[in-house]
Chain A
Amino acid sequence: MHIDEELRERHVLSITVTNEAGILARIAGMFTARGYNIDSLTVADITADHQISRITIVTSGAPRTIDQIMAQLDRLVPVHKVVDLTENGPFVERELALVKVAGTGEHRIEAMRIADIFRAKVVDTTTESFVFEITGPTDKIDTFISLMRELGLVEVGRTGIVGMVRGKA
């Protein structure tokens, strides 16, 4: 007997929660307890009085699984609202990465040129290295990093994505 893998699609969920102790463990733990995937997770408080946080989770699963994830999130007591940005209509998603690249000569010049194309900023430099700061959707950052791999990539730090519905509402 073999165990089948299910088909997956990627969804970005935006969750507003009461900013209380253990809230992150409650959300993240629900995912592990029920066998759901977390591809990325960000959290920060979003109101002046620090009462409410927004958690953005990138998850993947079959459409039914995504529907269950939404329902399971919704029934947690401190959860105010869950929005599936992917289903909801147009939305913006952004991620920030710091990318350290070491190299000299041609490689160094090429790295600089590509960074320019990607509108990455240099936030640190030595004669033999750069740290670039780049923001954008996940695939843009993925592409940038894979290009840098050939040019002396040393390390990468990524924030995970934040997302928001486009338009007024």
Chain B
Amino acid sequence: MAEMSGADILVQCLVDLGVEVVFGYPGGAVLPIYDVLYNHPKIKHVLVRHEQGATHMAEGYARSTGKPGVVLVTSGPGATNAITGITDALMDSIPMVVITGQVATHLIGSDAFQEADTVGLTRHCSKHNYLVKSPARLAHVVHEAFHIATTGRPGPVVIDIPKNVQVATAPFETPDVTNHASYRPQVKAPAADIAAAIEMIAKAERPIFYTGGGVINAGPEASASLRELVELTGAPVTSTLMGLGAFPASSLRWLGMLGMHGTYEANWAMNKADLIVCVGARFDDRVTGRLDAFSPDSKKIHIDIDRSSVNKTVMVDLPVIADAGSALADLVAAWKAAGHKAADLSEWWARIDGWRAVNSLKYPPDTTEIMPQHAIAELFAATRGKDVIITTEVGQHQMWAAQHFHFDEPNKWLTSGGLGTMGYGFPAAIGAQMGNPDSLVICVAGDASVQMNIQELGTAIQYRTPVKLFILNNEYMGMVRQWQELTYESRYSNSYSDSLPDFVKLAQAYGWTGIRIEGPQELEAGIRQMIETPGPVLVDCRVAKLSNCFPMIPSGAAHTEMLLDPSQVSGTMADEAKALV
């Protein structure tokens, strides 16, 4: 068998695994790999401006395409810069493979130039990681890494490759890694669990589906099965921030997002339900609010591929360990086979309609300033009929986008939920655009968040990715300011965005088109111009500076203690609530 260098083996494996794009940044410890990538016919390398940018691009690519995102960075600072994105992918279950260079094996442990203990640093923020000490192991590890990243509960896998392993040679053979000795996620639910779930759903008088990112992870078929199951049962659906789009927001069965900034109807329905069917969601604290007051009278079914998500914060009556797509398809089939008809839920729906009538997402009209909610609503209206992908940064704008931009399809909404990483959204948009060249990809950003990876303006220009960067500029870290208003009597400690750049000039300096929207009368035309202008466009949309995001369940409060507007804000909070994030 012909021998190949480690670097050649790595790149050959990537080709064999169907990788088309690698997001990366070179350095001494990955030069052999970069040499193999030089003018490579199959693999496109996207040169980022900061390794964190590469990781979020890979996440955006992965979430919007369903394929794993691939990152290549050098040792030491390259690897440490990637850590935030690796952690982000772990928290949000994003399939990603991160290849890091390492100093030569004989130098490991000697504080060599640009040495960092990458495997040690990423052990608990990755799904799995490897230090590959021989080129003969490399093919197996790379294939196994992709298998682990993409199956079960998806997540980031790190492969640390010392430089001498990239140079040394070994025979190459394509390995088979599907039959792993210890890693075997359970995909199919036991038939008895499915039968039990069907009985509970059929008997329920006040059922609700609470769906999450797991349905997105499970692929478009899972969303299709969810729609069918909801149709069959006639039950209402709410979803987490991570699950938006799996069920169409345009459906009458849709109650909107639940949780801290969810709708009144979604949270009240959760509180009063007699059955919660949780599919691929993890009872996050942003969702449950005060645990002892969380849906006190319901039975709970939890469908999740990861057993550790079950009974972690909320005890459930029926755990179903399975892939959401597989379990939902089984439920649909079992429901039909049992000859069940949708129960009469009219009384339940009447109550829900009562909560809906509160219209909890209403917001005041524009004055001289644009209301940020209005800007999102306008963006939504202006993009109808287009294939739109929305990414967000983190803060109020993220919540407003979740509330006022409505998704009918999965994989169109990319946001950092679990880690809440400012700096995610803009690179994620570039990554999504790479994977969906024909889509209209818009990042909804805040003036503070966008500065965390603003350097990627250069990447977008270099690769001609026509992303739109829509900044809701309120000159504050709005979300922080809002909490200070709620909790610390409006002492705005360090939440003012002082010394902001002129975003339009900044855009232009990078070769982007820059647009400023100053007031309500410019909003519609400005958004239209953004959409119609080819190439990357940055919009500095000046919005009301002091708007707050409602509805809101303050931390540590119950679903029924929701604040609907500023008049309900007292400005102080008990220490117990202050101690919660």
Give the interface of A toward B (CB within 8 A).
1, 17-18, 21-22, 25-26, 29-30, 33, 64, 67-68, 71-72, 74-75, 77-80
Chain A residues with CB below 8 A from B124, complex form = 29-30, 33
Residue B308 is within 8 A (CB to CB) of chain A in the complex: yes
29 A-B pairs in the complex with CB atoms less than 8 angstroms apart: A1-B576, A18-B181, A18-B182, A21-B131, A22-B120, A22-B123, A22-B131, A25-B120, A25-B123, A26-B123, A29-B124, A33-B124, A64-B311, A67-B311, A68-B311, A71-B306, A71-B307, A71-B308, A71-B310, A74-B308, A75-B308, A77-B127, A77-B128, A77-B148, A77-B180, A77-B182, A77-B183, A80-B181, A80-B182
Q: Mark interface residues in B123-160 (1 if CB within 8 Å of A CB, else 0).
A: 11001100100000000000000001000010000000
| Given A21-B131, A22-B123, A30-B124: A75 touches B311 (CB 8 Å cut-off) | no
Report if B464 contacts A (CB, 8 A): no
| Cβ–Cβ < 8 Å partners of B315 in chain A | 64
Tell me the number of A-to-B contacts counted with CB atoms below 8 Å.
46
- Cβ–Cβ contact A1 & B120, under 8 A: no
Within 8 A of A (CB), among B8-56: none
Q: Which of A17, A22, A64 contacts B119 (CB 8 A)?
A: A22
Kindly report which residue of chain B lies nearest to residue A30, judged by CB atoms: B124
Interface string of B168-207 (1 = CB under 8 A from A): 0000000000001111000000000000000000000000
Please tell me if the beta carbons of A1 and B182 are within 8 angstroms of each other in the complex.
Answer: no
Indicate whether B312 reaches chain A with its CB closer than 8 angstroms.
yes
Across the interface, which residues of A come within 8 angstroms of B347, CB to CB?
A: none
Q: Is B532 an interface residue (CB 8 A)?
A: no
Total number of B residues with any Cβ neighbor in A under 8 Å: 23
Complex: A77 Cα to B183 Cα, angstroms: 5
| Docked complex Cα distance between A67 and B148 (Å) | 24
13 other A-B residue contacts (CB within 8 Å) besides A18-B182, A68-B312? A1-B576, A21-B131, A22-B120, A26-B123, A29-B124, A68-B308, A68-B311, A71-B306, A71-B308, A75-B307, A75-B308, A77-B127, A77-B183
10 cross-chain pairs, A with B, having the tightest CB-CB distances, nearest first:
A71-B308, A1-B575, A80-B182, A77-B128, A33-B124, A71-B307, A77-B183, A72-B308, A75-B308, A29-B124
Query: Residues of A contacting B357 with CB < 8 Å?
Result: none
Q: Is B581 an interface residue (CB 8 A)?
A: no
How far is B308's CA from A119's CA once the two chains are assembled, in angstroms? 43
A74 and B183 contact, CB distance less than 8 A: no
Q: Looking at the assembled complex, report how far the CB atom of B488 sits from the nearest CB atom of chain A, in whole angstroms.
A: 16
Q: Counting chain A CB atoms within 10 Å of each CB, which of B131, B153, B307 scores highest?
A: B307
Q: How many angstroms from the CA of A80 to the CA of B182 in the assembled complex?
A: 5
Interchain CB contact under 8 A, B123 and A75: no
Please name all residues of chain A whose beta carbon is closer than 8 Å to the beta carbon of B306 when the two chains form the complex: 71, 75
Spell out B's residues near A (CB within 8 Å): 119-120, 123-124, 127-128, 131, 148, 153, 180-183, 306-308, 310-312, 315, 575-576, 579
Give CA–CA (A9, B313) in the complex, Å.
19
B123 touches A29 (CB 8 A): yes
What is the bound-complex CA distance between A71 and B310, given in angstroms?
9
Bound CA span A75–B309, Å: 11
Query: Considering the chains assembled together, what is the distance between the CA atoms of A74 and B185 in angstroms?
Result: 10
CB distance from A157 to the nearest CB of B (A): 28
A29-B121 Cα distance, complex, nearest whole Å = 11
CA distance A30 to B308 in the complex (A): 13
Bound together, the chains give a CA A109 to CA B311 distance in angstroms of 55
* Across-interface contacts of B307 in A (CB, < 8 A): 71, 74-75
Chain B residues with Cβ below 8 Å from A72 are 308
Least CB distance from B466 to A in Å reads: 39
Smallest Cβ-Cβ distance to A79: which chain B residue: B182
In Å, the complex CA distance between A21 and B181 comes to 16
A4 to chain B, nearest CB (A): 11
Alpha-carbon distance between A165 and B148 when the two chains are bound, in angstroms: 32
Q: CB-nearest residue of chain A relative to B305?
A: A75
Query: Distance (Å) between the CB of A80 and the closest chain B CB?
Result: 4
Give complex CA distance A1, B579 in Å: 9
B residues within 8 A CB of A64? 311, 315
- Minimum CB distance partner of A32 in chain B: B124
Complex interface: chain B residues within 8 A of A79 (CB):
182
Q: Report A-chain residues with C-beta under 8 Å of the C-beta of B128.
A: 77
Which B residues are CB-close (under 8 A) to A75? Answer: 153, 306-308
CB closest chain-B residue, reference A22: B119
Q: In the complex, what's the smallest C-beta–C-beta distance from B141 to chain A, in angstroms?
A: 11
Q: How far is the CB of A62 from chain B (nearest CB, A)?
A: 12
In the complex, what residues of B have CB within 8 A of residue A1's CB? Answer: 575-576, 579
Q: In the complex, which residue of chain B has the Cβ closest to the Cβ of A16?
A: B182
Chain B residues with Cβ below 8 Å from A25 are 120, 123
Q: Which residues of A contact B131 (CB under 8 A)?
A: 21-22
What residue of chain B has the Cβ atom nearest to residue A78's Cβ?
B182
Measured CB to CB, the closest approach of chain A to B458, in angstroms, equals: 36
Alpha-carbon distance A22/B119, docked complex (angstroms): 9
A79→B181 CA distance, assembly (Å): 9
Q: Closest CB of chain A to B60's CB: distance in Å? A: 26
Query: With A and B bound together, what is the CA distance between A1 and B181 in angstroms?
Result: 48
* In the bound complex, CA of A110 to CA of B160 (Å): 59
Which residues of chain B come closer than 8 Å to A71, judged between CB atoms? 306-308, 310, 312
Set of chain B residues within 8 Å of A30, measured between Cβ atoms: 124
Considering only CB atoms, which chain A residue lies closest to B310 in the complex? A71
Collect the chain B residues with CB atoms within 8 Å of residue A26's CB: 123
- Which single residue of chain A is at the shortest CB-CB distance from B306? A75
Cα–Cα distance between A75 and B304 once the two chains are bound (Å):
13
- Per the bound structure, the CA–CA distance linking A58 and B431 in Å amounts to 45
- Give the complex CA separation of A29 and B120 in angstroms: 10
Residues of B within 8 A of A17 (CB): 182
Q: Which residue of B lies closest to A80 (CB)?
A: B182
CA distance A21 to B575 in the complex (A): 45
Q: Once bound together, how far apart are the Cα atoms of A33 and B128, in whole Å?
A: 15
Residues of chain A within 8 A of B180, CB atoms compared: 77
Q: In the complex, which of the residues B180, B182, B307 has the most CB atoms of chain A within 10 Å of its own CB atom?
A: B182
Q: Across the interface, which residues of A come within 8 angstroms of B181, CB to CB?
A: 18, 80
CB distance from B129 to the nearest CB of A (A): 8
Instruction: With both chains docked as a complex, state the minimum distance between the C-beta of B183 and any C-beta of chain A, in angstroms.
Output: 5
